Every structure is written in C-alpha cells, then in structure tokens.
Structure 1
C-alpha cells in the first residue's frame, strides 16, 4: 500500500507541474482571446487523446473491477469532463457589456 501511495504522490507532483506550466502559458496569453482559445483547443485534444488511447482500453472488463472504478469515482470525483463555453453564454456576455456602455 505504501508503494502505491508513493506512486500516487509522484503522479500528483507531475500533474501539478504540468498544471503550473499550463497556467503560466495561459497567463502569458492574457488578453489575447485567440491565443487562449488555441490553448483550450489543444487541452481538449489532449483530453480526447488520453481518453481514447489510454482510458478506454484500460476500462474494467469484469464486474469487480467496474465496482472498484465506480466506488473510486464516487469517492474522488466523477468522470473527467472539459466544459465548453456555449455560444449563448458568449452572446449574453456581449449583450451585458453593451448594456453597461
């Protein structure tokens, strides 16, 4: 169990490092909507690739493993999802700004 916790800690450290780099990249694009949109598109493509190439093949093949996965998801958070801004939300933001002017 201790070895598994160490591996989880190492994974978490790597994820935090990557998150920091992504945040720094986004900060360097601050104010440039097109650059930030490009960053988000690349993140979405990476998410899709990890899901299709690594998560899907690793999904449980029996009830016991499925139960463990579902239990883990309930305890640690649900299915990974990257929400998108809806066009309606963007239009509402623009209308709100027009009203303020």
Structure 2
C-alpha cells in the first residue's frame, strides 16, 4: 500500500493536500496494513478485505474521481499524460492508458504541445 504519488507527483491533489490530508491517508494505510496483518494466512478474511477495498475503489472511481476529471479535452489529455508518467491509475493498466492517450493524440482536435 505504499505505492502512492509523492509530494512532487503531477497527479497529487492541489485541494486536499497538506499535513492533515497526508496524516489521514497515512492513518488509512496503517489501518489497512493492520487489517492485512490480522488476516495473514486467512484466505477468506483476506478475500473479504480485498472485496471491500475493491468496493471502495469503484465508489471513488465511478463517482468523485470521474466528476473531478477535466471536462476540457486538452486538460484531460494533460492529466492522462501526468497519470502515465506517475504510474497510471489503479486498475487502469498502463497499456490501456497509453491506448487512450494515443486515441486522443490522433483525433482531429489534437492538443498542441
């Protein structure tokens, strides 16, 4: 769970950053790590934890994250490029992200660099 954007990552939030948000994310990471440790060797318990984390992921990705995506094509393209450079978004494999970037590059409204 330690693979997350660092302070200088282009995909790091500008609105939710700061010591309080960082502490809250660290508490979340620590809590998940403790839950994993509590369930070590318990495949049913670990599966339950994975399913719950996946539900949270879907709720965030399909709701607040999509709502926060730039509506303007050039801004979306730049954001996707930043995602690619910083390691992609969880559950969006890099090849799929690259394919999306390629599609945006070859469209008639291609962003200028």
Task: Please classify the TM superposition score into its range, dividing by the shorter chain length.
Answer: 0.5 to 0.7
Answer with 1 or 2: which has the greater Rg.
1
The answer to which structure has the higher helix fraction is 1
TM-score, normalised relative to structure 2: 0.59
Q: Which has the higher contact order (CA 8 A, sep 6+)?
A: 2
* Distance verdict in 2 for CA 1:75–1:20, change over 3 Å: same
The count of aligned residue pairs is 80
Q: Tell me the equivalent position of 1:8.
A: 17
* Distance verdict in 2 for CA 1:69–1:82, change over 3 Å: closer
TM-score, normalised relative to structure 1: 0.65
Give, in whole Å, the separation in 2 of the partners of 1:13 and 1:81.
Answer: 25
RMSD: 2.5
Q: Tell me the equivalent position of 2:76.
A: 66
